[in-house]
Structure 1
Amino acid sequence: APPRRPLRRALSNSPRPRSSAAATAVASSSAVNSILLRSLKEHYLEVSKMTPPPKISPPKPYTIVKGALDQTSGPVLRRSYGEAGEEISISVARLSNIMPPGADSDSDGSDGAGGVSGSISQLFLHVDISRPESSKSLQFLCGLYPDAVGIHSVCLRSKTAASGAVAVAAATKGGGEYQGRIFQELDEKVRDAFHFYIEARGINEKLFPFLQAWLYVKDHRNLIRWFKSVGAVISEPKPE
């Protein structure tokens, strides 16, 4: 039989495609990470240089909830109202992030704009109104515009129930205790009376300048944190 030594030598000198491919993949991944980190840094620096809006105070007697900017959700403004000692709290978000297109038909204050430029002029309010002796709170979901406020829904909820705009929005879609009729299906006089009710408590377009500026600052802070967090994850060394 012919000797097999040359064959073994040939095999030992042949390239190792798997190792080479793995090395190429690592180098490619590292290059992609570098490109992404550089892009994140550029955008982070760009966002950091953005000029914040002028400092605006909320209309009196509303006061800013301490630490609201650092919370994921929750009320931004609070006030007391009337001899009964009503407690009113207001949370805010971009309307386009909460309500589907066309859901703001109750108000004529929308210019119909879409995207970021449109949503910054359309805010979503979650208003909670309660009395100390009551186990229930009256909650409104509203669209707030530079020149108007429109009610999307009204519901009565237990104070011990989950709070927040998302919980209220879920409640209006059904389930749990009876929440009343869809707001648009109520008699026009009843709808007008509800609008007078919230306007008497200072829930109107005068809130818009402050809440718009507050939301801008909060979004800006969140974006800065996001750039930092994503960059930290991508640049983390892999465990050996």
Structure 2
Amino acid sequence: MALRLSRVLRRSPARTILSHFSGSKALAQQPLLDTSSPDDKNLTFLFSHPNNLCLSRSYISEMRRSAFEGNIQRLLRNEIQYELERSIPDQPVQKYDEFTVDERPGEQWIRLSRKFGENEEIKVEVTMFDGALPVKRKGGVDTDDDVELHITMIVDIFKGDGNSVLEFVCSAWSSSIQIQKVFMRGHDRMTGHPYTGPIFKDLDDSLQDSLYDYLETRGINDDLAGFLHAYIKNKDKSEFIRWMGNVSDFIRPK
């Protein structure tokens, strides 16, 4: 019916339609459309009664909106199918070494937690990919895929019933972890502005090595970095597919 309506509007001179709505008795007795079909009768009703001008405009607007939303849904379905045909996301694992992994579905981060020793609790908050650096290949030729993806890790170590937390802010590359900051804070991160210590690389080399050993003893090591990159890559794909599905569901007429 949309095609028929557009053809009618193109064929009908503007003055004829305007005269019709102005109440011309002669034109009012002449149907604008061939009323041989029910659809044409509906359109004749819309255009032959001045009081229905707003209704006809609303009808056209609704048709355009429906076509626009239908196109968005079609594009989203195509993208979802494309992603699934490339590879289906794996089911997220819930354990890694001594860590319990919380996927945080629908969010941009995950959390790992574990106990260590008699009275330590360790929580690791991990972002999704939040940066990248170019990587030089042999021969000095770079491509769009020659990048090293970056993940931010925040390692919090709680001890017993104490009110202080030892916090490490780290960069997790695909095969290594780099400490950026080490500082003490309270349980409530929003309280005050704690001194976050000096730039880590400015510390004595022996002290830097000792702090790396401190983390490695607790399972925060280069192997964990490799696991996190594989996990976040899978989560990134899952969240993308979930996002497209949620948008499609919202746009779909109820």
Instruction: Report the AA paired with residue 210 of structure 1.
Output: F
Counterpart-to-counterpart distance in 2, 1:115 and 1:54: 28
Quote how far apart the aligned CAs of 1:22 are.
Answer: 4.1
Quote how far apart the aligned CAs of 1:132 are.
Answer: 0.9
The residue that corresponds to 2:103 in the other structure is 68
Q: Are residue 128 (structure 1) and residue 128 (structure 2) matched?
A: no
C-alpha spacing 1:35/1:116, structure 2 compared with 1 (3 Å): farther
Counterpart-to-counterpart distance in 2, 1:57 and 1:232: 28
Instruction: Report the AA paired with residue 146 of structure 1.
Output: S
The residue that corresponds to 1:88 in the other structure is 122
Query: Is the 8 Å Cα contact of residues 169 and 180 (structure 2) preserved in structure 1?
Result: yes
Equivalent residues in 2 for 1:21-32 (5 A)? 21-32=57-68
C-alpha spacing 1:236/1:57, structure 2 compared with 1 (3 Å): closer
The residue that corresponds to 2:7 in the other structure is none
The residue that corresponds to 1:79 in the other structure is 114
Counterpart-to-counterpart distance in 1, 2:92 and 2:250: 34
The residue that corresponds to 2:242 in the other structure is 225
The residue that corresponds to 2:82 in the other structure is 46
Q: TM-score, normalised by structure 2?
A: 0.63
Q: TM-score, normalised by structure 1?
A: 0.67
Quote how far apart the aligned CAs of 1:206 are.
Answer: 0.7
The residue that corresponds to 1:33 in the other structure is 69
Gaps of 5+ in 2: 1-21, 33-46, 137-141
1:51 aligned counterpart, secondary structure: coil
Residue of 229, 233, 249 corresponding to 1:212: 229
Counterpart-to-counterpart distance in 2, 1:33 and 1:52: 28
Counterpart-to-counterpart distance in 1, 2:153 and 2:166: 14
* Cα deviations by residue, 1:183-231 (Å, 9 ceiling, x for unpaired): 3444444333322322232211111332223223322332232122111
Higher mean alpha-carbon deviation, 206-215 vs 131-140, is at 206-215
Query: Is the 8 Å Cα contact of residues 144 and 204 (structure 1) preserved in structure 2?
Result: no
The residue that corresponds to 2:14 in the other structure is none
Gaps of 5+ in 1: 1-6, 103-109
Instruction: Report the AA paired with residue 63 of structure 1.
Output: F
1:177 aligned counterpart, secondary structure: coil
Quote how far apart the aligned CAs of 1:56 are.
Answer: 7.2
Quote how far apart the aligned CAs of 1:58 are.
Answer: 6.0
Query: Is the 8 Å Cα contact of residues 126 and 152 (structure 2) preserved in structure 1?
Result: yes
The residue that corresponds to 1:199 in the other structure is 216
The structure whose Rg is larger is 2
Quote how far apart the aligned CAs of 1:28 are.
Answer: 2.0
* Cα deviations by residue, 1:160-182 (Å, 9 ceiling, x for unpaired): x14xxxx7xxx9xxx62333234
The residue that corresponds to 2:198 in the other structure is 181
The residue that corresponds to 1:105 in the other structure is none
Quote how far apart the aligned CAs of 1:77 are.
Answer: 2.5
The residue that corresponds to 1:148 in the other structure is 176
Counterpart-to-counterpart distance in 2, 1:57 and 1:233: 30
2:219 aligned counterpart, secondary structure: coil
C-alpha spacing 1:195/1:115, structure 2 compared with 1 (3 Å): farther
Aligned-residue Cα RMSD (Å) equals 3.8
Counterpart-to-counterpart distance in 2, 1:223 and 1:22: 35
**Structure whose residues are more often strand by fraction:** 2
Query: Is the 8 Å Cα contact of residues 139 and 156 (structure 1) preserved in structure 2?
Result: yes
Counterpart-to-counterpart distance in 2, 1:157 and 1:51: 41
Count the aligned residue pairs.
206
C-alpha spacing 1:218/1:75, structure 2 compared with 1 (3 Å): closer
